[in-house]
Amino acid sequence: MSDYVTQETFDKMREELHRMKSVDRPASSRAIAEAREKGDLKENAEYDAAKEAQGMLEAKIKQLEGVISNAKIVDPGTLDTSKVTILTKVTITNLATKKTIVYQIVGEKEADLKLGKISASSPIGKGLLGKVVGEIAEVQAPNGIVKFKIEHITI
């Protein structure tokens, strides 16, 4: 599944991958070599821990390579603000509570609720995508259907 990201997030992922391969991987190999020098591998907890850390690092590298290879870079300058799409900011009002919230719809890799960024694949994100100003989005929540009115869409 492809993940929509900004160029900035894509660059950060590539930097992180480069760091893992050029810094973390050699450090992991050194830790294994040092633990190996300490004797019997059958009873060497340090060696086991170093091998496990190496396995976790390799899994992270593989996962990040997959995300990068499937990423779709979206240019905010080309976005259509007539409807809610990936990377648009949408002001919504919860019709039950009358609370107004602003969310930016982003890919899973960029989602951060504290920053007001929700994933397009989240229940609210899915419910908002494609809606236009004035439209009501019905979102299935654990406690039932929540209705949001689309107030404003910007970049």
- Strand-pairing partners, residue 149, are 93, 136
Lowest mean pLDDT among 15-24, 30-39, 100-109: 30-39
CA 95 to mean position of chain CA atoms: 28
Mean pLDDT of 107-125: 89
CA 20 to mean position of chain CA atoms: 18
The b-or-e profile of 66-85 (16+ CB within 10 A means b, else e) is ebbeebeebeeeeeeeebbb
Domains of the chain as residue ranges with CATH: 4-73 (1.10.287.180), 76-154 (3.10.50.30)
* Strand locations in the chain (E): 4-5, 72-73, 89-94, 100-106, 117-119, 136-141, 144-154
Asked whether residue 41 carries a pLDDT value surpassing 70, the answer given is no
Mean pLDDT of 81-104: 92
Query: What is the model's pLDDT at position 146?
Result: 92
Report which secondary-structure segment, H or E, holds 12: helix 7-19
32: helix, strand or coil = helix
